[in-house]
Amino acid sequence: MIAGIAVITVILSSCHNLHGPGSVDYHNKILFTSSRSGTPQLYMMNPDGSGVQQLTTGPYSHYDGKWSLDAKQVAAMTNENTNTACPSELSVFNVNGSDSRLLECGGHPSCSPDGKEIAFSYMPRGELGDLTTYIYVVNIDSGTVEQLTNNLGVIDDDPAWLPDGSTIAFDSDRGYPTAPLRSEIYLVNPDGSNERRLTYTDSLINGGPAWSPDGNTIAFGSDGGIALINRDGANMRYITHQYEFGSGGYGSPIWSPDGGRHVILWYQSDRTSHTVIFTQNSDGSGMNEILDDSTAYAKDSSK
């Protein structure tokens, strides 16, 4: 729930299909969204900010892009085929632009580790003024949708799949009916069972959970900075603090494939409202700014 804002004809059936011999390894590329070309589109770059390449084009926006686990495909949000009842649509496509498909109304996608499903959030009655948002899973091949959470009057958002496929993390404002801007991190099994709360800060906006590659740690953004917490809920600690960035923002972290570095997105209102992307070691050292883009959207990044 972090603020900010994500053809060659080849028939592929999941989030982990290969491109063939000699294909590029995209595991170390960072996805972000920018409107530098006019319409918000997805771009990728190297971890040092070099080699920026545009991935999506056309009249429709593409944003909140997320890599599949093997970095062969991208799941994203788009405004193609949308209306008041469906303000955003899930899209999945190969990194070379082929086999682009619309899947379902919803947003904030996360590919399952086996590449067969996408977890997402959706507000089914938003056009009626009901802000209740649920977590769902859609099968990419069949289009079958399963609803995982069912809490009327709350916002469940930003699902993130544990690398072993056994758990989905998400953020929710449940428990704060009089203060809906507060949120905590929760966990749920992929079949909707065993919902449980992970964080207990009770005074912060916690959202955008991201699992470390080994599945032992969750990084998340808050209005207090970027935080880490163990999978069992122990040892919550901050690796950044809001004062390091200036006023009016909080970040949304993601992990590099080796688990040693985060990529941190931070919207800074005191830096001419630019979105700034940083890298930083997971122990809190080595902060390095790699992109300052007045047209980029916060929160749209991936490994």
Mean pLDDT over 67-72 rounds to 84
pLDDT digit string, tens, across residues 191-241? 999 999 999 987 788 999 999 999 999 999 887 788 899 999 999 998 887
Q: Contact 133/156 with Cβ under 8 angstroms? A: yes
Query: pLDDT at position 181, please?
Result: 66
If pLDDT is split at 50, 70 and 90, which confidence band does 8 have? Answer: very low
Query: pLDDT at position 25, please?
Result: 63
CB neighbour class for 272 (10 Å; exposed up to 12, middle 13-18, buried from 19)? exposed
256 three-class SS: coil
pLDDT digit string, tens, across residues 229-250? 999 999 999 888 765 554 444 5
Mean pLDDT over 75-94 rounds to 90
If pLDDT is split at 50, 70 and 90, which confidence band does 297 have? Answer: low
Which position has the token pair 């920026």?
Answer: 52
Superfamily of domain 30-302: TolB, C-terminal domain (2.120.10.30)
Q: What is the DSSP secondary-structure string of 116-178?
A: SEEEEEE-TTGGGT---BEEEEEETTT--EEE----TT-BEEEEEE-TTSS-EEEEE-TT-TT
- Which stretches of 170-261 are DSSP H helices? none
Rounded Cα gap, residues 116 and 293, in angstroms? 34
Query: pLDDT at position 180, please?
Result: 54
pLDDT digit string, tens, across residues 93-127? 988 777 888 999 999 999 999 989 999 999 988 88
Q: How many CB atoms lie within 10 A of CB 271?
A: 17
If pLDDT is split at 50, 70 and 90, which confidence band does 254 have? Answer: confident
pLDDT of residue 23 exceeding 50, the answer is no
Name the pTM for this structure. 0.86
Mean pLDDT over 72-76 rounds to 90
Query: pLDDT at position 218, please?
Result: 95
Dihedral of alpha carbons 12, 63, 45, 260, sign: negative
Rounded Cα gap, residues 223 and 255, in angstroms? 19
Q: Contact 228/276 with Cβ under 8 angstroms? A: no
What is the residue extent of each domain of the chain? 30-302
Query: pLDDT at position 257, please?
Result: 82
Averaged pLDDT of the chain? 81
pLDDT of residue 137 exceeding 60, the answer is yes
Mean pLDDT over 67-84 rounds to 88
Mean pLDDT over 255-277 rounds to 67
| 101: CB partners within 8 A, 6+ apart | 91, 92, 93, 140
Rounded Cα gap, residues 153 and 160, in angstroms? 22
Rounded Cα gap, residues 8 and 64, in angstroms? 23
Q: Which of 26-40, 150-164, 282-296 has the highest mean pLDDT?
A: 150-164
pLDDT of residue 292 exceeding 70, the answer is yes
Q: Which of 94-98, 183-187, 248-252, 282-286 has the highest mean pLDDT?
A: 183-187
pLDDT of residue 189 exceeding 80, the answer is yes
Mean pLDDT over 128-147 rounds to 91
Mean pLDDT over 60-84 rounds to 89
